[in-house]
Amino acid sequence: MKKSFFNITRSRQKNRINGYYLSHLYQGQSFYARAFNYLCYRVFVLAAAFIFFLYFTGGEHILFVFITAVSVLIIYHLAARYITNKKLEYVKREVNESLAQEEFSVRVNSIEKESFVIFIEDLFTNIEEFSEVEITEHLESEGIDLLGKYQGELVAIQCHSLDGENAVESRSARELSKAMSRRKYNKGIIISTTGFRDDTSYFCNLIREKRKIILLGQKELIQMAKEAGKYPREEEIKNLLLKKIEHQARDFQAARERVFAKPRITPYFVYGTILLIFGFMIDLSPKYIYYLGAGGLYLLGIIGIVVALKNNKEVSNFGWQEKLF
């Protein structure tokens, strides 16, 4: 029973995740819209192929023409399926990478400066080219947060945990340059969770002949995190996807409850009845438009009643103590 439960849960999660990918692939189209388009395209291909071959055979050999048209449909179906699978693979990579970047940004932006410096130290320690990386609390006032060796050469490292549209300004680069000049360091790195102002890049290019300061922004930070194994993994991305799907489902449920709230049910029947009366009394054609409109409003009203009754059953009127028994 336990194994069966986990298998069912895993299968449901897989289906929900695949549905999320498909919604991105088809730009939010519903399942019914996708099924309708699927059938329409294939019916069109079959009909076009049948007419084409029927024309060139002069209306003879109908069975042969039909079999040939079906063969064309099969080829089209296989080709369309192959292209769709390729597109779906691309969408999966894009969605997963977007979620991973979002989660990674939340993690690094939610920690304080000291914790971010520790994170960068751990990051560089796990990258093969770096060695002897250590925090330099005694040099923090000079703009140097870490010292390490890159391929055997000493490097001064400055860390910035920023968010939003904030970027590293040139004064931070000038501060690091002065500290490097005093201590005879030739290479430096400024690493940021966002990016750098134009004047910062200009300053680093200006002093390149004297001191080389490398600017590593969000893109490079993500690449290093991947290399160091500090980036969200596949299982984490799966959990993020499920959270996002559940959040969307809750939003949809809340929207549905607002649309079909009790105060909105009455107007459906009132306006439907008015349209029905107009259809009987006004001698204008076509009358069926009034009847169709009234039927649609009545249908919405009935759906609203069903949903309201279902929601009332799901919500208990008792306090939380009653739910314990």
> Tell me: the pLDDT tens digits for 36-48?
888 989 999 999 9
* Mean pLDDT calculated for residue range 201-223: 93
CA distances from 237 to 14, 92, 226, 311 (A): 13, 11, 14, 32
Residue 283 confidence (pLDDT): 66
Q: Which of 172-176, 181-185, 261-265, 300-304 has the lowest mean pLDDT?
A: 261-265
Closest by alpha carbon to 267, among 291, 295, 301, 290? 301
3 phi and psi, to 5 degrees? -65, -40
Distance CA 22, CA 187 (A): 48
Mean pLDDT in residue range 42-57: 89
Q: What was the pLDDT predicted at 207?
A: 93
Nearest to 18 by CA among 104, 95, 100: 95
Looking at 3.40.640.10, 3.40.1350.10, 1.10.150.20, 3.40.50.2020, the CATH number of the domain 113-228 comes to 3.40.1350.10
pLDDT band at 1 (very low <50, low <70, confident <90, very high): very low
pLDDT confidence of 260, banded at 50, 70, 90? low
| Res 198: pLDDT | 94
pTM: 0.66
C-beta of residue 263 within 8 angstroms of C-beta of residue 234: no
- The residue-averaged pLDDT of 296-301 equals 80
Q: How far apart are CA 315 and CA 260, in angstroms?
A: 16
Which one has a higher pLDDT value, 320 or 173?
173
At residue 175, the pLDDT reads 95
Q: What is residue 138's DSSP assignment? A: G
In percent, the amount of the chain with pLDDT more than 90 equals 38
Q: What's the whole-number mean pLDDT along residues 186-204?
A: 94
Q: Cis link prior to 286 (omega < 30° from 0)?
A: yes
Q: Per residue in 261-287, pLDDT tens?
A: 555 667 777 777 887 787 777 666 666
Domain boundary assignment for the chain: 2-108, 113-228, 260-313
In sequence order, which residues have a C-beta less than 8 Å from that of residue 189 and are 6 or more positions away?
155, 156, 157, 158, 213, 214, 216
